[in-house]
Structure 1
Amino acid sequence: MKELTLEETSKKEYANMFFFLTLCGNVFCTVYISSLIYVFTAIFFLFIYLTKKSVRNRISNNSLKSILLIVACFLSLFFVQYLVFGWNTVPGIINHISKFIIGAGYISYLGDKFRIIFFKTMYIICLIALPLWIFQQIFGGIPGLDYSIGKTIWIYSYREGTDIMRNCGFFWEPGAFGGYIAFLTLLFFNDLAELFKTNKWKCIVIIATLLSTQSTGGYMSFGTIIIMYLAFSMKSKVKYIILPLTITGALYAYSNLTFLSEKFKEQNSKASEQEWGEYSSTRMGTFMFDLYYITKHPFIGNGLHERTRLADHPILAELLKNKEIAGAGNGFSDTLVKWGVIYAFIFGLVFIKTNKNLPLSSKICFLLLICFILQGEPFMNFPLFLGIPLIKI
């Protein structure tokens, strides 16, 4: 993978990526910093874009048009939702568009370098998280700032109780950490063999950290990406040996790791017993519940605020608002509920346009795997996943 050795990543690039990822679900940011940080950051980015020619030159006209198209999509859907529901959340749409501008703008600014800097930064995050997690297993935690269910020192967070056995790392929960690692793997879908060949130690640390999350969603997403890579992207004939071994290993792990098989079976069992419109915060349970609202407004969505997003479940909306029960456990269905299939179509269309030099099959495969990763966590509430249409793979 030639791009990895083109140039060193500067301290400024690392600092910018750490700040960017802090805005993508770091506990310190979500608990101790106002959500206005997204608005201020977006305004600052726009100011830099308008005043610095060097920044404008790095964001192509096509990228700018794509960003404006998606912003127009958000605003149009917001307006139509207002007409249909008679109300909508102005602070919510400002905050959401700000997150998108941060994600799409930063990704467009870095261009082909984004995945390189993301890879190197995630390696540092894993290199810090893994030994701290081991220390935590031996001594039962580390000092840090309290939040509702655990402690954080910004670079590392952990949950107390039974979840103390799992590695949250830089993000809000183990499943989120696992999901971001799976997404990192997906960014190198066409170059995984070369990535491992030239960065063995980094890859081993990242994979070991993924294992420490004990995340069902992270494991399944990562395993699916690897199997898809071996089946459709890897050119070497050795894949005909590795692929069946990988599938056999995945099936063995699923059958013998109780937290994988039992959790999956339990969630599916509960989801199958759900009544139409009955709420559950699990992956499958949330998906089944969200189908009620997806079919209610399939094209325009139901909006960002609980008042419209859960219009037929006001008691549930109040419980979620007061954080008395867990929120959405399925980022894919949550996005469709909020914004509908029109946004999903434009999201995919812009991504396909951004990567026009790739085969259509590769782009569709990438988007399907994004949908798979989203089954675990509400990643679309954060700048990185909102900016995916502008990512070049």
Structure 2
Amino acid sequence: MNLQLLRKKRNKSLDYIFVFILIIYAGSATVFVRSFNSWEDIVGILFICFFAVYYAINNRIQLNKTFYLLATAYIIYSLALTVKFGEVHLQFFSIYLISFYITYITIVTLRYRFFVIYEEVMYYLCIISLFFWSLHQIIPEQLTSFIDSFAFSKPGSINVKSNIIFYTINDISVVNDYVVNLGYFNLFRNSGFAWEPGAFAVFISLAIYIHFIKIKFNKLINKRFLMYLIALITTFSTTGYGIFIVLIMFYTYNQHIKYRSIYLFVSVIMGVYVLSLSFMSDKIISLSQENTTNQLVESSINNDTKYAPQRITSFIIDYQDFLNNPILGYGGHNKEMWTAKLGAEIATISGIGKLFARFGLVGVIFFFVMLLRSSKLQSQILGFKGWGFPFLIIVMISISYSLIENPLLMCFWMAALFYPYPKMNPEGTQTYKIKRFKQKLELNKLQY
């Protein structure tokens, strides 16, 4: 089945602006955009809320029964947390309710045109990032001064030195692996618009995923793919390279049967080569040799130091919190974390670990059911084989980062909740639950 879009008479420029804002907010490089979760800059959270409402009104979007059911279930969940911990956590409650609303209006308004716009915006963001990244290698101090002079907001985390919306310069004095030693010379890693290179690699990987579908898995080597590939290489991200291997297998799986074995062989060789790269193997070894959890907690308490452990240790810490609150999680009550109770300041980074710890089985079941349904939906609507690939890609992202809690990523794994799910009628053709769109909307093939 060919990938199809529902075309509506709308302000297309506004669509691109809206998705661009979602992408930049997901990048979380400045206090302004990171305030969506932290509320550190009230203007930042109000801006995206008001823009989302304006976007919904402009497109005459009304809340439907599905959204009200989701909101009701979330309110009940929040009330249960309040009863359990004896405290109302308004910020936690508001953040996810707003996230659900933004995800809802994005999917209902754009449907799978969201993917088209996301890929288009990411293409130009990759071009911009490569331009600044090249300058960063040649004139790092001058570029930093230039970006500082145009910065509209403070860095969103300690590893960000400067940001100009489209490009981030990381502070190598805080995290020294933002510089890669290639033997004869060193290279700064490319963070693009995001707070760190690995996160930028995730956004690029999702764009490549959509790109493969748009070209219908035909001519692999083209200008757009090469741009994504170069941008991905400059991130030097283990997560990004790992997802890219899966993407090549995804491309291979959708080839004609007589070519599949060739592409599969190339994929395996490429995977072995990527894993053998020095910075990849060094990163894997360093993760396996990281200090034990108890040592980290003890050091934080004794030295009054805040730590952000890598993904393996982060997951171990989060999993213990899950065991302490297996059904509901600790929600927004961070002081209920076992490390916080001991007096340690540990900021975990594992997305899947936080999902278990913060939301318990309630959130875990919801996430995986929605991800499963949305992955199958994408396979059916977008016309590719192997629904397990988008499922695996999102899981791989969640292992490394908490991006899955962001509205942009929610549009990938919550699509099935708001998008009319295809079902088979007696004649064996696909129909849709929402019939009122049938005669009003024009179908158009997804292409450049």
Task: Judging by fraction of residues, say which structure has more helix.
Answer: 1
Partner of 1:324: none
| Aligned with 2:364 (options 328, 344, 352) | 344
Q: Give 1:369 shift.
A: 2.5
Q: Give 1:68 shift.
A: 3.3
| Counterpart contact for 2:217–2:251, Cα < 8 Å | no
- Taking structure 1 as reference, are residues 123 and 362 closer, same or farther at Cα in structure 2, changes over 3 Å only? same
TM-score (norm 1): 0.82
Q: Deviations over 1:126-183 (max 9, x none)?
A: 0100121011011115121363441111111111324251111011110110111222
| Aligned with 1:373 (options 389, 393, 397) | 397
Q: Please, what is the CA RMSD of the aligned residues?
A: 3.4
User: For residues 308-387 of structure 1, what are the structure 2 equivalents within 5 Å?
Assistant: 308-310=336-338, 313-316=341-344, 319=345, 327-352=347-372, 356=377, 358=379, 362-387=386-411
Q: Give 1:35 shift.
A: 5.0
Matched, 1:116 2:144: no
Partner of 1:249: 270
User: For residues 84-99 of structure 1, what are the structure 2 equivalents within 5 Å?
Assistant: 84-99=84-99
Q: Give 1:85 shift.
A: 1.7
- Taking structure 1 as reference, are residues 39 and 343 closer, same or farther at Cα in structure 2, changes over 3 Å only? farther
Partner of 1:153: 164
Determine the C-alpha separation between the residues in 2 that align with 1:3 and 1:342.
Answer: 34
Partner of 1:323: none
| Aligned with 1:240 (options 261, 276, 281) | 261
Partner of 2:192: 169
User: For residues 197-276 of structure 1, what are the structure 2 equivalents within 5 Å?
Assistant: 197=219, 200-231=222-253, 233-255=254-276, 257-270=277-290, 273-275=292-294
Determine the C-alpha separation between the residues in 2 that align with 1:357 and 1:22.
Answer: 24
**Equivalent position SS for 1:23:** helix
Q: Deviations over 1:242-262 (max 9, x none)?
A: 11122112112211x211111
| Aligned with 1:55 (options 60, 64, 74) | 60
Partner of 2:202: 179
- Taking structure 1 as reference, are residues 178 and 157 closer, same or farther at Cα in structure 2, changes over 3 Å only? same
| Counterpart contact for 2:241–2:274, Cα < 8 Å | no
Identity %, equivalent residues: 20
Determine the C-alpha separation between the residues in 1 that align with 2:242 and 2:220.
Answer: 25
Determine the C-alpha separation between the residues in 1 that align with 2:392 and 2:77.
Answer: 24
- Taking structure 1 as reference, are residues 192 and 241 closer, same or farther at Cα in structure 2, changes over 3 Å only? farther
Determine the C-alpha separation between the residues in 2 that align with 1:109 and 1:151.
Answer: 34
Task: Judging by fraction of residues, say which structure has more strand.
Answer: 2
Q: Give 1:234 shift.
A: 3.3
Determine the C-alpha separation between the residues in 1 that align with 2:380 and 2:4.
Answer: 20
Structure number with larger C-alpha Rg: 2
**Equivalent position SS for 1:24:** helix
Partner of 1:288: 316
Q: Deviations over 1:214-244 (max 9, x none)?
A: 111111122123224424x334421211111
Q: Give 1:267 shift.
A: 0.6
Q: Deviations over 1:299-355 (max 9, x none)?
A: 211112422345753522xx35xxxxxx32211111221112222322343455565
* Higher alpha-carbon deviation: 213-222 or 300-309: 300-309
Q: Deviations over 1:69-124 (max 9, x none)?
A: 43333322222122222224212221232133223322331101010000000001
| Counterpart contact for 2:319–2:356, Cα < 8 Å | no
**Equivalent position SS for 2:162:** strand
Determine the C-alpha separation between the residues in 2 that align with 1:2 and 1:121.
Answer: 19
Unaligned runs of 5+ in 1: 321-326
Q: Deviations over 1:362-383 (max 9, x none)?
A: 4454333211111122203422
Q: Give 1:265 shift.
A: 1.8
Matched, 1:42 2:49: yes
